[in-house]
Chain A
Amino acid sequence: MRINFKYLRPHSLNECLAVLATHGDESAILAGGTDLMISFRSGSRTPRFVLDISRLSEIRSVEQHAEVIKIGAILTYSELIAHPLIVKTFPALSAAMSCVGSLQIRNVGTLGGNIANSSPAADSIPPMMIHDAQVMIQKVNSVRIEKLERLIVAPYSNTLEPDELITGIILKPVETAYKQSYRRIARRKSLSIARVNMAVSAKLDAEGLIEDVRISVGSVAPTPLRIKKVEDSLIGLKPESKFIKETGELVARHIVDLVGVRHSTEYKRPAIAGLVIKCLEDVFID
């Protein structure tokens, strides 16, 4: 390691927030460490303090509330994939978490860490966005709840203040009538960064017409995003294969309009369209 720092392991959430209140701007928060340790090695982060939050019991449980499920920020991917309630309630998110890095990475990496790192290609973020995810953020004596979509503002950048800590993720389960899909394209299956990743959740009404559809795409724009304009235009339509193909083109065109033509557009445009088609087939065609 090229850097040095003081290692702190707060024994409680309050203790941790107190340290952040005084030293937040010169601290790095260590949850799973899978991104942070690499930044120490490369020298891109040189904090004075490293706060190890990986043992804070207050933020490592799954809580079922009346309308929402709250996931503690430092639960690891492996713990969440093995959690029956998570697997049953959030199939797309579970599939996405199974794609993260490798088993060694999933054994330490956390959902809170994935949000804090705010990578445009984060596997877990599109499948949280289709549940209108909210992020619980705490600092000394205060809690704020922020929509995930608003928290992440640019690649690797979010609205977290130095004295704040992500403590949980609040997800709204959908009715069982919804079907979900998560897919990604990457150079290889394991240990790869997604080139395009996508989560879809949809429900048909009694006549077989689209009642609700949510599409979230990652790795194609500065931040993962919901394609609300396209989603809205699909309500009430019949999901036939011609329509699914057109929707693929529509989403791809929408994203190119949004981010402009880039060096990768020639590849990504058909890749996005293809992935939309596959995800929509997953949810609409048995």
Chain B
Amino acid sequence: MNQEIPQDELADLEISFTLNGSQVRVSIKPWETALDTIRNKFGLTGAKEGCGIGECGACTIVMDGKAVNGCLVLAAQLDGRTVETVEGLSSNGTLDYLQKAFLDKGGVQCGFCTPGMLMSAKALLDECDQPSKDRITNALSGNLCRCAGYVQIIDAVEDAALIKSKDAENQAVNR
């Protein structure tokens, strides 16, 4: 602790950002991580703290369209950004393509890595409709699964991409 710092310097900060589509305002400590804020202030406990040093990816959230480690981002850095977490994937009780595919392909074992895996995959599919297997592996290489279910997880992302783009095609045809 830095005893000599005047208390007013350590005052809480007010930040606002878009969280899963809603504009939010929150008071934070300057040294609070984005992960802590999302979990503790908003009760969104999908993102997990695994290693806390950016090696496991369990805390992956999507910030301005990019997958980032929530444990390596200060909450203060979220100010003005758009943030997506695993809780924002489903809408009105309907699972997202990725969530469905993870269930269908057995991409979930203990589940600890799953929210992070889903968010890395979500950032990828938002950027690229039909990623190659290599690109998927690369996008998920910052997410560790200690159940070692990688094959099923990569299958699931491939499957989700396929179904998502087929649905998009069908919708375009029906229009």
Q: Is A134 in the interface zone, CB < 8 Å from B?
A: no
Query: Nearest A residue to B31 by beta-carbon distance?
Result: A1
- Known contacts A37-B71, A37-B72, A103-B141; is A78 also within 8 Å of B66 by CB? yes
**Would you call A4 and B30 a contact (CB within 8 A)?**
yes
A19 CB to nearest B CB, Å:
13
**Would you call B76 and A9 a contact (CB within 8 A)?**
yes
- Known contacts A5-B2, A46-B2, A101-B54; is A34 also within 8 Å of B72 by CB? yes
**Would you call A34 and B54 a contact (CB within 8 A)?**
yes
Q: CA–CA, A48 to B68, complex, Å? A: 26
Query: Nearest A residue to B30 by beta-carbon distance?
Result: A7
Q: Is B69 in the interface zone, CB < 8 Å from A?
A: yes
- Known contacts A38-B54, A104-B57, A107-B66; is A5 also within 8 Å of B31 by CB? yes
Q: Is B118 in the interface zone, CB < 8 Å from A?
A: no
Could you say which residues of chain A place their CB within 8 Å of the CB of B74?
A: 7, 30, 33, 37, 50, 52
Could you say which residues of chain A place their CB within 8 Å of the CB of B2?
A: 3-5, 46, 48
**Would you call B72 and A33 a contact (CB within 8 A)?**
yes
Q: Is B139 in the interface zone, CB < 8 Å from A?
A: yes
- Known contacts A104-B69, A108-B73; is A48 also within 8 Å of B55 by CB? no
Interface positions of B from 75 to 90, Cβ below 8 Å from A: 76-77, 79
Q: CA–CA, A108 to B64, complex, Å? A: 11
Q: Is A14 in the interface zone, CB < 8 Å from B?
A: no
**Would you call A108 and B142 a contact (CB within 8 A)?**
no
Could you say which residues of chain B place their CB within 8 Å of the CB of A102?
A: 54, 57, 141-143
User: What total of chain B residues lie within 8 Å of the partner, measured CB to CB?
Assistant: 34
Interface positions of B from 6 to 33, Cβ below 8 Å from A: 9-10, 13, 29-33
User: What total of chain A residues lie within 8 Å of the partner, measured CB to CB?
Assistant: 30
**Would you call B29 and A4 a contact (CB within 8 A)?**
yes
Residue from B30, B71, B74, B76 with most neighbouring chain A CB atoms (10 Å): B74
Could you say which residues of chain B place their CB within 8 Å of the CB of A30?
A: 74, 77
Could you say which residues of chain A place their CB within 8 Å of the CB of B9?
A: 6, 48
Q: Is B131 in the interface zone, CB < 8 Å from A?
A: no
**Would you call A54 and B77 a contact (CB within 8 A)?**
yes
Q: CA–CA, A30 to B34, complex, Å? A: 15
Could you say which residues of chain A place their CB within 8 Å of the CB of B5?
A: 4-6, 48
**Would you call A3 and B31 a contact (CB within 8 A)?**
yes
Q: CA–CA, A162 to B142, complex, Å? A: 33
Q: Is A145 in the interface zone, CB < 8 Å from B?
A: no
Q: Give 8 closest A-B pairs by Cβ, nearest first.
A: A102-B142, A7-B30, A190-B141, A107-B66, A6-B9, A1-B31, A37-B72, A104-B142
Between A and B, 10 residue pairs with Cβ closer than 8 Å are A3-B2, A7-B31, A30-B77, A38-B54, A52-B76, A52-B77, A54-B77, A104-B67, A104-B72, A190-B141
Tell me the B residues contacting A by CB distance below 8 Å: 1-2, 5, 9-10, 13, 29-33, 52-55, 57, 60, 66-69, 71-74, 76-77, 79, 120, 138-139, 141-143
User: With contacts A52-B76, A191-B142 known, what are 18 further pairs, Cβ within 8 A?
Assistant: A3-B1, A4-B5, A4-B29, A5-B10, A6-B9, A6-B30, A33-B72, A33-B74, A34-B54, A48-B2, A50-B30, A50-B31, A78-B66, A103-B120, A103-B138, A105-B54, A189-B141, A191-B55
